[in-house]
Amino acid sequence: MGKIVFLDVDGTLINYDAVCPDSAFKAVEMARANGHKVYICTGCSKAEIAQRTLPELDGMIGANGGYVEDAGEVVMHQALTVDQVRHIVDWCNERELGFYLEANSGMYINEWFVRQAPATMKKYALGKGATEEQAEGAGESFVNSMIRTDDLYRDDVNKVSFILSSYQDHVDSRTEFPDMEANTWGGKDEQALFGDLGPKGITKKHAIEVLLEHLGASQADTISFGDAKIDLSMFELCAYNVAMGNGGPEIKEAADHITNDVDEDGLYNAFRKLGLI
């Protein structure tokens, strides 16, 4: 068997305009043609990934490890319970926090999210190096990709992301939801823009372990690529780890190799260095 490659999506396989560079597209196609397996390993749920134009892949790990799929077969899916979702929805609405429920069927939002998300996503894109124009468009397109509904007590939710009015919202979420994993994203520590809540014990590392067991594959054959703190759990498990040039300091410090930025042929150059293509 060839190598098994795990790619984060935002900032790794695609840029902050949600576009997969031609060189990255080509790198994945060539690696798979050479007998290697390539999976995405992302915080996104399947519905969000379906909106992206990506190269053909061997499968995916989604929802930060809550969903594992191989060649169209669902290997693992651990969703939140309806009671957990109801608790999160009510708590966020009481605090007037915009949120989106991440399900494989779609991304479902409350009215606070409609109001708050454009400015928040603009900050996120600017922080990742986007131009003012790109950042403005990112916020609008993000909201437009989601479903506005009053039917928010759902049984198919992988995780929930909510906009932080301050870092205290994340601190409080850890106390309010001890039965769930509470993380942040969109900025380091107190600069984070979002909190998220998912099933307890779910990580990218755990999901990779599940997939390797399903494949009968060895950890020694694994390679991971990431750009953010959330990708560190992949790095804990995989045999070789690559940080993108546009990545944060934590991921670069943990990497075996630092490649170029996502828009500077970073994926392609690393695939060549590692002999995947």
- Predicted TM-score (pTM) of the model is 0.84
Residue that terminates a domain, selected from 199, 221, 238:
199
Per-residue pLDDT band for 136 (boundaries 50, 70, 90) equals: confident
Rounded percentage of the chain residues whose pLDDT exceeds 70: 100
Structural domain count, the chain: 2
| Boundary-marking domain end, from 169, 199, 229 | 199
State the residue range of the domain holding 16. Answer: 4-77+203-273
Tell me the C-alpha distance between 269 and 255, whole Å: 16
- pLDDT value of position 193: 95
Per DSSP, the residues of 5-60 read: EEE-TBTTTB-TTS---HHHHHHHHHHHHTT-EEEEE-SS-HHHHTTS-----SEE
Rounded to whole angstroms, how far apart are CA atoms 165 and 16?
A: 23
Asked whether residue 56 falls in the same domain as residue 11, the answer is yes
pLDDT of residue 135: 80
Domain boundary among 144, 179, 199: 199
Same domain membership, residue 156 and residue 22: no
Instruction: Report whether pLDDT(36) > 90.
Output: yes
Q: What is the per-residue pLDDT across 62-107, written as a single tens digit (0 to 9) for each?
A: 998 999 999 999 999 999 999 999 999 999 999 999 999 999 899 9
* Claim to verify: residue 256 and residue 194 sit in the same structural domain: no
Q: Are residues 42 and 128 in the same domain?
A: no
Is 171 in the same domain as 250? no
CATH classification at residue 178: 3.30.1240.10
Of the listed ranges 56-60, 122-126, 151-155, the one predicted with least confidence? 122-126
Domain identity same for 57 and 94: no
Lowest mean pLDDT among 55-59, 139-143, 191-195, 259-263: 139-143
Q: Please check whether residues 108 and 177 belong to one and the same domain.
A: yes
pLDDT-based confidence at residue 205 (cuts at 50, 70, 90): very high
